[in-house]
Amino acid sequence: MFRKNKNSQEFTVSNRTLLRIIGFAIASLVLLQIFENLIHPLTLIFVSFFLSLALNPAVSFVSRKLKTPNRTIATAIAYFGVVSVLILFFSLVLPPLIKQTSDFITDVPQTFRDLNDDEGFIGDFVRNNELEQQVSEFASSFSNDLGSFREPVVTTANRVVSNVVSIITVLVLTFMMLNEGPKWLKLFWSKYPKDKRKYAKKVAGEMYNVVTSYVNGQVLVAAIGATFAIVVLLIASAIFNADGINAIALGGLVFLFSLIPTVGAILSAFVVVLFSLFVSLPLAVTMLIYFIVYQQIENATIQPYIQSKGTELSPMLVFISAILGIGFGGVLGAFVAIPVAGCIKILVEDYFERGADDITKNT
């Protein structure tokens, strides 16, 4: 309510209005809290949905080969094959990677202490610039702080249990989506208007092809990059007698990082070169040159050939999508952002195409 007198203006708020404001504020806080609590389960559901789309071609292929209408059997066979490959991959990569990372962190202090007596380029640089004391202090400080890298056992155990539960949830939910997906899709299309059903199925099919083509293509690109990295690491480590390098573990790391579009290859190169640097300087230089050359080849030939027909996005749009994806959802967001952008592109093109058709009909 508003009142006005000669000297001043006075605002008065009724009790009902005040109660509405308080109620709106409380409701907003409650909704925000509910949304915050739902972020994690919604993320698991979205990941499961994305994986089910990616794995559906394999299930359909097995179903056609078996010539059985029982989709549960086909889903179980395809799912078991994919999960078996993943378990085999992580069992080969994770143990040596964890050991090499632990050894790397443990050896850092001694490696820096040895720089003062090194007869190579780095040792000369340290002595010429009188950095011996700084290097020794850093080594001692790093050695004293090693304990801070190890979190309390209870906290670590809780995180491990939480991650295991999340992984199991995603695996089970993905299996259920793969098995029941066609039934829900059939029900959805039965309720869709008949006059628009054929065209809507066409657009949905194009979006589905974008997702599956991108996922399969990104896995193939990562596998090619990891294979070449392992071969070069094996050859270079043999030439320079770098026994401390585990090529299989680092190759697995290259594969995992390369699944992240745009920035994944840079991260994998940085990690591999860093590990190599603490084993052998010539090896590190060799790997740095290799990654620079390989990235040019991959960006010019492998990546465009495999992914161009999948999303049909320009390099600039791919880069922008990856940046936005990282901002919204980290690594998972970066991986999902590009096929989502491809789907949005299809919807936008369809919207303008239908608008153009309407204009043509009216004229």
Q: Which residues, listed in sequence order, are joined to residue 2 by a DSSP beta bridge?
A: 11
The CA-based dihedral angle spanning residues 187, 189, 194, 200, taken in that order and rounded to the nearest 10 degrees: 170
Torsional sign, CA 135, 141, 142, 144? positive
pLDDT at 132: 63
Q: Which residues, listed in sequence order, are joined to residue 64 by a DSSP beta bridge?
A: none
| Mean pLDDT of each 10-residue bin along the chain, 363 residues long | 52 72 85 81 81 81 75 81 78 72 66 60 63 63 54 52 76 86 87 87 86 82 91 92 80 84 82 84 91 86 66 70 73 75 85 68 56
**Tokens representing residue 92 in the block:** 């080969």
Torsional sign, CA 99, 101, 102, 103? positive
**Tokens representing residue 77 in the block:** 């066979």
pLDDT at 153: 43
Total-model pTM: 0.67
CB 144: neighbour CB atoms within 10 A? 10
CB 219: neighbour CB atoms within 10 A? 15
d(CA 195, CA 183) in angstroms, rounded, equals 21
Angle at which helix 247-258 crosses helix 264-277, to 10 degrees, equals 160
d(CA 101, CA 98) in angstroms, rounded, equals 5
For tokens 């209005």, the residue is: 17
| Side-chain half-sphere CA neighbours of 132 within 13 A | 9
**Tokens representing residue 210 in the block:** 């974008």
**Could you please report the per-residue DSSP string of 62-94?**
HHHHHT-S-HHHHHHHHHHHHHHHHHHHHHHHH
Amino acid letter at 207?
M
pLDDT at 2: 46
**What is the end-to-end Cα distance of the chain in Å, rounded?**
54
What are residue 7's phi and psi, to 5 degrees? -95, -30
